[in-house]
Amino acid sequence: MTDDNSKVTPIRARRACPECGKPSSRENYPFCSSRCKDLDLNRWLSGSYVIGSKGDADEEGTGEN
């Protein structure tokens, strides 16, 4: 058997790290390092990232009537 890695298709395609833009690593996918991974987690835990809901938009509209 030959050791030809050119025929192996990766399960996940490499993409840019969402924090810094460097190529992602397999261990920290989709991030490039544990530092970028921790930065993203900190943003979620501190409330910097928020996922809105339709209920929020409805509540704002009811106060105007």
Domains and CATH numbers, the chain: 11-49 (3.30.50.10)
Binding residues: 17, 20, 32, 36
Binding residues for Zn(2+): 17, 20, 32, 36
pTM of the complete model beyond 0.85: no
**pLDDT, position 14:** 79
Least confident interval from 6-10, 13-17, 43-47: 6-10
Q: Are the C-beta atoms of 8 and 2 separated by less than 8 Å?
A: no
Q: Tokens standing for 30?
A: 């989709």
